Structure 1
Amino acid sequence: KGSHLSVQHHDSDLLTSPDNTFTCGFYVVGENAYCFSIWFTNSKEKTVVWMANYDKPVNGKGSRVSLRRDGALVLTDVDGSTIWQTNTSSTDAQQAELLNNGNLVLKNSSGKILWRSVGDEEEQRKKTESTEQ
């Protein structure tokens, strides 16, 4: 909690899965444009498996992703504006962890997963679709 990854250190501010298959951090998508992403560590092209802000890249200076004290994982641009965040504010999310399957998760103090990068969006979409029918 209270820690962050900085875009200025995108080559070193990284999370890596325990088996080193996946890496999470800021991925270059253009000149001075970055997305918070997960990719295969050893692929030549850095094949991306997940991107938080694919539709709104952040600036290469001053942008960061932070696990805030309120439990939310938040991506902010250089001007401090929120570009993307998890739905975990007001939870006891204590740590972010990149799993061997490439899933970025937020866990509470007892290890329970409160949010996952892959799975939650699909589950939420299915819930929305089922209530609309």
Structure 2
Amino acid sequence: MTQTPPPQVWPTLRARDARGLIAFLVEAFGFEETVVYGEGDRVDHAQLDWPLGGGVMLGSDRERGADNPWWLPPGTFGAYVVTDEPDALFARATAAGAEPLYPPRDTDYGAREFAVRDPEGNLWSFGTYRGEARKTR
């Protein structure tokens, strides 16, 4: 018997305009804004949930330094996200301003997927591949 546990890995990214990126990810891809902490333009922490499970966490870019040892440059993130409707999502994403890297296509492992770049430069691939089920121990 095999089963796939719920996602407990949270990809993270930084943004020059975190509030703008949050709005884009909600409009273009359909992420759900769960929580945003911070004042004014600054975002200290945001959680965006994906309707099929999992999500991403993000915040405003801060300078690299002793108080920020885990620094991520904006625009260096990449993720694969499962969707049941890649063709419709590609149309939605590009209509909202995502830069197409490649349109929906079928893979040799049975998935349908596409890839785009968001306004911060991050790479997003969306497709039907859900991964292989883990073997129970």
Q: TM-score, normalised by structure 1?
A: 0.32
From the two aligned structures, give the one with the greater helix fraction: 2
Answer with 1 or 2: which has the greater Rg: 2
Give the structure, 1 or 2, with the largest relative contact order (CA under 8 Å, sep 6 or more): 2
From the two aligned structures, give the one with the greater strand fraction: 1
Q: TM-score, normalised by structure 2?
A: 0.31
